[in-house]
Structures are given as structure tokens and as C-alpha cells.
Amino acid sequence: MEKMDVRQVHEWRWRSFEKLLGFTCQSKNPKEVLEWGPGRSTFVILNHALQANILSIEHHAKWYRLAVRQFEKSERVELVHREIGVKGGVSVGYANYPLWRAMKAGSPVAKYDLVFVDGRHRFDCLVAAFYLVKDDGVVMLHDTWREIYMPAVELFPHVKVFDNVRTAVMSKSPLTFLDRFEQGEVPGADLDDKW
């Protein structure tokens, strides 16, 4: 493999999860998706989970406005802007907003087939995701190399970490669907291919 220049490394870091996320969407066919951090992941989900409705939460006003412009024509994406810091007694901040929303609606908390965590406060988002994902659902964390996330990752009884794409996949159920991805049997899922 040829050596990547700085620009290519930066691009790979931002997009390294795409094949694994696309494969997961095709394998699990999620209907309800939650993501913290809209962007490339939103495009991947829209293109590989054709029946998915996505709730996407963004903390930064500038990136939220950009995401609104990118996804304003998609009826399957709901974008929500939530600040990271909240005032005391207010429980509708960035990480816990989906929990608050589900509880306020009186719906069962575990409602998502897929949760993708690629924004801020990932530890807090993972804890919320544990309660929000269905028993047979999947949680994915991009940028798994940070040790501070591991206690939240370990909440899940089933975890597979793909260091080469900086992504962990977690579930309350066995992750056997990933066996084909790991073995490279899926077209376009070559783990050595960073692009």
C-alpha cells in the first residue's frame, strides 16, 4: 500500500467508518436511526438504509445550519440543534435529548435499530444509546482509540472493535452479522482498503 500524505490521512480519519456503516445498514436494514453528529454518516445511512428515518443531533450552530442545507430536501432526516452545556435542572441537552424526548412522548425508551455516535461527549452519548437502542439493535462509535470511552463501551455485552477503521460496533445481542465483513466476503468491504 502506498503511503498517504497528510491530506489523505485527514480525509481517511473523517471517512474511515463508511464501509462498515454501509455494511451494517445493508445487513440490519434499520428503520429508526439516531446519530450524534450529522454529516458523512447521514449520507451513508440514507444511501444504505432506504427505509430509515434519522434523528440527527448537532451541538454547533454553524454545523447545524450546514446540515440543514445539506438535508433540507430529505423527509427522512430530522435535524435537532442542542447545546452541549445546559443550565441546572434542564435535561434537554445534547447527549440526553433523545432520552428526554422519548420519555416525554411516553414511548418505550428502546426504540432505535441503529445509533451512530460521532459527535461530542461520546461517553455520555454511549450511555444514552445503551437505553435507546433495541435489544437487537446496533450502536456504532467512531474514533474508538480514546480510552475514556471504554467504560461506556463495556456496558454492551457484545462488542467488536475495528481498529483499522477506528470504529466499534456494540449490541445487546450477538454481532454475528459482522462475520462476513471481518472475513472480507462482502464486495467493497475490504478491511485493508482505507478508501
Q: Tally the domains of the chain.
A: 1
pLDDT of residue 88: 63
Is residue 9 pLDDT above 70, yes or no?
A: no
Is residue 116 pLDDT above 80, yes or no?
A: yes
What percent of the chain has pLDDT above 70?
A: 83
First to last CA, the chain: 12
Q: Is 19 among the domain residues?
A: yes
Is residue 142 pLDDT above 70, yes or no?
A: yes
Q: Grid coordinates 445546559 are at which residue?
A: 86
* CATH number, domain with residue 124: 3.40.50.150
Is residue 56 pLDDT above 90, yes or no?
A: yes
Q: Is 191 among the domain residues?
A: no
Q: Is 175 among the domain residues?
A: yes
- The whole-angstrom separation of Cα 127 and Cα 139 is 11
Beta strands in the chain (DSSP E): 32-36, 53-58, 77-81, 112-117, 133-142, 158-162, 167-171
Q: Is 138 among the domain residues?
A: yes
Q: Is 90 among the domain residues?
A: yes
pTM: 0.85
Task: Give the residue with greater pLDDT, 163 vs 145.
Answer: 163
